[in-house]
Amino acid sequence: MAAFPDEITAQECQTMIEYLSQNRIGYLIEAGTPDGTQIAHKHGWISDPFGTINTIGDAGIVFSPGGDYVLVVFLNHPQELIWDQAANLIADLSRAVYNYYNLPEQ
């Protein structure tokens, strides 16, 4: 809102977050966070005319007890991305970031 004053209201921003929070897919960024973590995100992929996926991405706001943060991950391979490997990598990156913000109590 600070970047675009008078272009978007706080209510419109909250509505967008609510819509993005309904995107519950169980993999990518979401897979790297504990069950019940609120995430407002948009994922997607690009495939060629033959259905071969070469780009996968997920971008979102993660609302965590240790602090809210934005995580954006895009993976690309010139020929083909293997979905399971790419999805697991994004989940692992998400888990590492979540754990950074939510260190266990000592």
**24-49 tens-digit pLDDT:** 999 999 999 999 999 999 999 999 99
Domain boundaries, the chain: 10-101
DSSP string for the chain: --SSTTTS-HHHHHHHHHHHHT---SSGGGGGS-TT-EEEEEEEEEE-TTS-EEEEEEEEEEE-TT--EEEEEEEE-SS---HHHHHHHHHHHHHHHHHHHTPPP-
| Stated pTM of the model | 0.88
Find all residues with CB under 8 Å of 50, minimum gap 6, and list them: none
Query: What share of the chain in percent tops pLDDT 70?
Result: 96
Q: What fold, for 10-101?
A: Double Stranded RNA Binding Domain (3.30.160)
